Structure 1
């Protein structure tokens, strides 16, 4: 392989600021800068597979994430180049990155998962048919033919095996035919046979001219000797870089050699942990050696014996050092148009979430409440009871859609982070597709609820009044859904978002004009931002008109606008409620979008 196709990382240093609190509760906090990676260098060419080894906390994943351009916090310095150019966002779009956890949609089949990924990641110069054929061609290459029509599955849903899930994740990255493929712990949680199959697949990919870089915790001896190069880390320091088959000889040459045959990776991990066996038959160093001194000895040995040789390799590659912090200008070219991204994400979302959106439990819940309301308010002629039903409309169809929406972004955070970091689509395309995809069920259920309860409860038998009620209810649903999206995006934690959402919605409900009709002036501002008040007023206006009368005593009639539960809100100025809800409808969704833009899921 020519040097112009070599991936080089030289003197990579990564620092992150940590907050240190004082000993006492009110003591001041101070920031400390912690160095995670301490000058790591390496070189790997097409056709080679590099394994990054080390114990937990040694910096393996941090280094891999930094090399793949996916670190979003901290400060990364060093020269990271590929094809003699700084590793940029332009290259990242054509680089494969497989995370340790397989982030996949559980209800999609293997074929559907790969096809939707191909539709999003392959350039628009390919037709839909060509993208589909390309995705299906990956399946036999990864040995997924037998399970191609099986769903992925999840913790509570039976699907493909762990090894097959991992190969699907690899297949998603292989669709773009990457020259450089990063994998974080691809054998984690797999049995030795499945792990061997995965690494063998990766070895075949490397031999096809690709560069494969992976982290791996404790490979078997069979896996170890498949690696062309090995990088051993300890506390962010390099202890070894070179051919895998030469590792044991190197450590033996500096005085660290096992006296009995053992798995090379086990031996290397023992050394990088600074722990040597207490059994003198295993290691020549003898028992009870201080771990810190062992690590220091190995770090010094690396600088003395390997560092200079590695520098010579870097010089021979004729690649200049480039200070690359991986935070440079954004790359604005996309594989597909906005509309193509929107349509694919929308179709994928509808296919994935139809099992949840149209679940019997959710439909049954709404139908049960609807019929219960219809029976409780059966043909009611009492105005106070009818007003109570209208406020229940407002209350129920604020809480229900809000809590459904709160879970939207927290549940999809990992998927959104994975796909956005790969540059698969614009955030706006995802946001619009996700919002539009939820509309069918969000609007269908309240419509069914209204049809059932409206006529059972004996509300005004007028087509105009019915559709005015339905319109008011649907606007209430969409505004509450927008509030839920904003709260979910703000916290990305379902428990915290649920607590805040409950408090906000209860505040809106109490100030909505039904429970407390004379709100004290010092807290009356709540009613002006209350969804409940505006939606409740629209529902009242849909049923009652100024000038109508009702029986308020024996042979006595009163104006409907003077009814005690209606008078504080009144039946006029309908436009204000419509405008207020319209502003909230757009405002909450815009707020959710802005929050998503500012958090880590959008950083590439």
Structure 2
């Protein structure tokens, strides 16, 4: 019972505690927290578990007749004043064990209790009661959680489904934002996907794809962070209650983003692909959707990962914004890879956006043999200027997938290992 007398007058409180006492007299155990009890109510208890701020034990033992054992225990501490006749033992107990009194007396009541005979008797009793009686077995549960890992995953996924479905400021607004951006990019870069006679035409088409993935990706990564931060708070409570473990929660949090990102990728891909006039072949359209989908996914997963490794989404936003700027710089569009100084070129290969740009451009233009105004073919220009080769397309796709798996793994591990909850 949690403070059953709160808000009651003295008569009502006495009636409630008399009922509790009668319940105890039938042989049942009642654990009850109490706030500022009267003498009669306080002395109706058999035993007391008293803690100081921070959860440290000060007294764990019987009260005794008229709180005699409690009073004796505290009066034996050097410097503690004797209780006055008729004074409420509950009030006196709190006054003499207050932090200000500890500083004045130079004692730590938690240490006093740990060095007392009462503490040793309690530990011996716990040890004795922890041994099962002859012919009986101790309580045993084969697993920590009541349901299997698969059932936990399904339950968490179902919970996340409703959480996202009932959050239109996040899901619906992001969908409308994607559609709006697709229309802007499609009209601004109208029919550029079918033009590669000049280097500038080809670079303009690349710029559309590059700007879209940076712009949409950073937005996706930023908007998911407050959502994950709120969900993580709920996770702390439900995990502490033993409802499920960290991995099913992380699995559900990652998987619930997949259909939303896929629909947004499909809408953006159909609009922009048609407006830009890119080649309508099954292979090229598949590669376009593939790289765009998994690129948006690693942005989302990166945003989730930064929340999982930081105390709150504000710090996560600062960290992720810094890396978005670095990814932008080392993507290979602003400064092509062959022109990046050799001592920084290693970071190009560690930048996920670089593989996105590489994969989209090579899959769309990497095999074109038409001669440009510079005298070289499109394939040769991409290889000489950007360092893009069609033969590296499969490896690029694999690396993009690896980034998704890496960010998802770090998110899951961080959710399991780190706890930033503050009490």
Q: TM-score, normalized by length of structure 2? A: 0.72
In the alignment, the residues of structure 2 paired with residue 237 and residue 229 of structure 1 have an alpha-carbon distance, to the nearest angstrom, of 14
Question: Does residue 523 of the first structure (1) align with residue 347 of the second (2)?
Answer: no
Q: 1:257 aligns with which of 84, 101, 111?
A: 84
Compared with structure 1, are the counterparts of its residues 296 and 570 closer, same or farther at alpha carbon in structure 2 (3 Å cutoff)? closer
Is the CA contact (8 Å cut-off) linking 1:508 and 1:526 kept in structure 2?
no
Quote how far apart the aligned CAs of 1:266 are: 4.8
Quote how far apart the aligned CAs of 1:513 are: 1.1
Number of the residue aligned with 2:183: 371
Question: Does residue 338 of the first structure (1) align with residue 338 of the second (2)?
Answer: no
Number of the residue aligned with 1:537: 358
Is the CA contact (8 Å cut-off) linking 1:232 and 1:238 kept in structure 2?
yes
From the CA coordinates, give the structure whose radius of gyration is larger: 2
In the alignment, the residues of structure 1 paired with residue 160 and residue 233 of structure 2 have an alpha-carbon distance, to the nearest angstrom, of 15
Is the CA contact (8 Å cut-off) linking 2:213 and 2:295 kept in structure 1?
yes
Is the CA contact (8 Å cut-off) linking 1:341 and 1:425 kept in structure 2?
yes
Number of the residue aligned with 1:512: 331
Q: TM-score, normalized by length of structure 1? A: 0.52
Compared with structure 1, are the counterparts of its residues 519 and 242 closer, same or farther at alpha carbon in structure 2 (3 Å cutoff)? same
1:196-216 CA-partner distances (Å, limit 9, x unpaired): 99xx79969x86987565666
Number of the residue aligned with 1:479: 298
Number of the residue aligned with 2:128: 319
Compared with structure 1, are the counterparts of its residues 296 and 471 closer, same or farther at alpha carbon in structure 2 (3 Å cutoff)? closer
1:315-357 CA-partner distances (Å, limit 9, x unpaired): 78992689xxxxxxx9745422221111111111211232236
In the alignment, the residues of structure 1 paired with residue 340 and residue 117 of structure 2 have an alpha-carbon distance, to the nearest angstrom, of 78
> Gapped runs of 5+ residues in structure 1?
1-48, 50-185, 276-288, 323-329
The structure with the largest helix share of the pair is 2
SS of 1:521 mapped into structure 2:
coil
In the alignment, the residues of structure 2 paired with residue 409 and residue 524 of structure 1 have an alpha-carbon distance, to the nearest angstrom, of 34
Q: In angstroms, what is the RMSD of aligned CA positions?
A: 4.6
Number of the residue aligned with 1:232: 50
SS of 1:399 mapped into structure 2:
helix
Compared with structure 1, are the counterparts of its residues 439 and 585 closer, same or farther at alpha carbon in structure 2 (3 Å cutoff)? same
In the alignment, the residues of structure 2 paired with residue 459 and residue 359 of structure 1 have an alpha-carbon distance, to the nearest angstrom, of 29
Is the CA contact (8 Å cut-off) linking 2:222 and 2:303 kept in structure 1?
yes
Is the CA contact (8 Å cut-off) linking 2:62 and 2:70 kept in structure 1?
no
Give runs of aligned pairs for residues 60-209 of structure 1, distance below 5 A.
Answer: 192=7
SS of 1:257 mapped into structure 2:
coil
> Gapped runs of 5+ residues in structure 2?
76-81, 132-140, 196-200
1:465-489 CA-partner distances (Å, limit 9, x unpaired): 3332111101112233333333332
Question: Does residue 568 of the first structure (1) align with residue 378 of the second (2)?
Answer: no
In the alignment, the residues of structure 2 paired with residue 462 and residue 303 of structure 1 have an alpha-carbon distance, to the nearest angstrom, of 77
In the alignment, the residues of structure 2 paired with residue 213 and residue 433 of structure 1 have an alpha-carbon distance, to the nearest angstrom, of 37
Quote how far apart the aligned CAs of 1:521 are: 0.2
The structure with the largest strand share of the pair is 1
Compared with structure 1, are the counterparts of its residues 268 and 383 closer, same or farther at alpha carbon in structure 2 (3 Å cutoff)? same
1:106-126 CA-partner distances (Å, limit 9, x unpaired): xxxxxxxxxxxxxxxxxxxxx
Number of the residue aligned with 2:284: 465
Worse-superposed segment, 226-235 or 451-460:
226-235
Quote how far apart the aligned CAs of 1:577 are: 0.6
Quote how far apart the aligned CAs of 1:438 are: 2.2
Question: Does residue 439 of the first structure (1) align with residue 258 of the second (2)?
Answer: yes
Is the CA contact (8 Å cut-off) linking 1:397 and 1:446 kept in structure 2?
no
SS of 1:516 mapped into structure 2:
coil
Is the CA contact (8 Å cut-off) linking 2:83 and 2:92 kept in structure 1?
no
1:234-287 CA-partner distances (Å, limit 9, x unpaired): 574625743499449964996323878x7x755543232166xxxxxxxxxxxx
Is the CA contact (8 Å cut-off) linking 2:52 and 2:58 kept in structure 1?
yes
Compared with structure 1, are the counterparts of its residues 421 and 371 closer, same or farther at alpha carbon in structure 2 (3 Å cutoff)? same
1:343-375 CA-partner distances (Å, limit 9, x unpaired): 111111211232236544333332332222233
Question: Does residue 387 of the first structure (1) align with residue 206 of the second (2)?
Answer: yes
Q: 2:411 aligns with which of 589, 592, 603?
A: 592
SS of 1:231 mapped into structure 2:
strand
Give runs of aligned pairs for residues 24-43 of structure 1, distance below 5 A.
Answer: none
Give runs of aligned pairs for residues 541-556 of structure 1, distance below 5 A.
Answer: 541-549=362-370, 552=373
Number of the residue aligned with 1:497: 316
In the alignment, the residues of structure 2 paired with residue 589 and residue 351 of structure 1 have an alpha-carbon distance, to the nearest angstrom, of 21
Is the CA contact (8 Å cut-off) linking 1:271 and 1:294 kept in structure 2?
no
Compared with structure 1, are the counterparts of its residues 390 and 268 closer, same or farther at alpha carbon in structure 2 (3 Å cutoff)? same
Question: Does residue 352 of the first structure (1) align with residue 163 of the second (2)?
Answer: yes
